[in-house]
Amino acid sequence: MTELAYLATVRESYDTVAVDYAKLVPPAFEDDLYGRAMISAFAELTQVVDAGPVADLGCGPGHVTAHLHSFGVTAFGIDLSPETVAVARRTHPDLQFDEGSMTDLDLADGTLGGIVAWYSTVHTPPELLPVVFAEFHRVLAPGGHLLIAFKAGDKHRHLENAYGHELSLDVYWMSPDRIAGLLSQSGLVVDARLIREPTETEKPRQGQQAYLLARKPGKPVGDLEARA
């Protein structure tokens, strides 16, 4: 498959900011307790279903992968940016991080027990989100769960600098209804939504933040009844 054009600029931008982005990640989600709660719920769901490993897609420096690992979840990270993957590997040498794109994953059908996309779809042009969500549906095992975090709203900004560097990066705010609709169209079932207000430190630049839990329908292999 020919690479989608926007991926090159996203990759180059995150290669440029990889080290400085990682320095700004707050430890243990200390300013995002609601987000942290959704990760805990997701970890528990994937452990109950036990349908395969969890991929943290667009993992950045790997802090969500590591947080999942701390719950005993078998998790690995994938990111588009080689420099970002290098930072994740240096920061968490005991965990697996690979280069790849969520638009065209090098993973077999139905092999993941869970997917986290933590603010990693925010650079995908909205018209290409169906491509990404179709990949999520393809690689999830029946019963596997998705947790997606994103900036709630309806706007687009083009950044020419961030984290102290010049770059070229588009950021999209999306309404939770629109994301939920696209997930449903891809065949996923949306089970839960959390929309929170910006914290004091996020104001006035950030608005509401959204977290959606969705699931690929079907009976998980190794479900609770079978294991009882």
Ligand X SMILES: C[S@@+](CC[C@H](N)C(=O)[O-])C[C@H]1O[C@@H](n2cnc3c(N)ncnc32)[C@H](O)[C@@H]1O
Residues that bind ligand X (CB under 6 A): 7, 10, 14, 25, 57-60, 64, 78-81, 84, 101-103, 118-120, 122-123
Choose between 32 and 215: whose C-beta lies nearer to ligand X: 32
Strand-pair category, 155-162 with 165-173: antiparallel
The residue among 127 and 225 lying less far from ligand X, judged by its C-beta, is 127
Q: Which CB, 49 or 88, lies closer to ligand X?
A: 88
CA-based end-to-end distance of the chain = 44
Question: Residue 227 CB, nearest distance to ligand X (Å)?
Answer: 32
Q: Which is nearer to ligand X, 214 or 220 (CB)?
A: 214
* Minimum CB–partner distance for residue 123 and ligand X (Å): 5
Closest CA to 59 of 137, 138, 147: 147
Q: Are 63 and 84 in contact (CB under 8 A)?
A: no
Tokens at 39, concatenated: 């990760």
What minimum distance in Å lies between the beta carbon of 78 and ligand X?
6
C-beta nearest to ligand X: residue: 60
Phi, psi for residue 123 in degrees, rounded to 5: -100, 0
Min dist CB 49 to ligand X, Å, is 22
Least distance CB 3 / ligand X (angstroms): 10
Q: How many other CB atoms are there within 10 angstroms of residue 33's CB atom?
A: 12
Backbone angles phi, psi at 23, to 5 degrees: -65, -25
Kindly write down the DSSP assignment for every residue of 131-150, as one continuous string: HHHHHHHHHEEEEEEEEEEE
Least distance (Å) between residue 48 CB and ligand X = 24
Q: Cβ of 105: how many Cβ atoms within 10 Å? A: 19
Between 37 and 122, CB nearer to ligand X: 122
**Which residues are 115's β-sheet partners?**
55, 146
Residue (53 or 142) nearer to ligand X, CB? 53
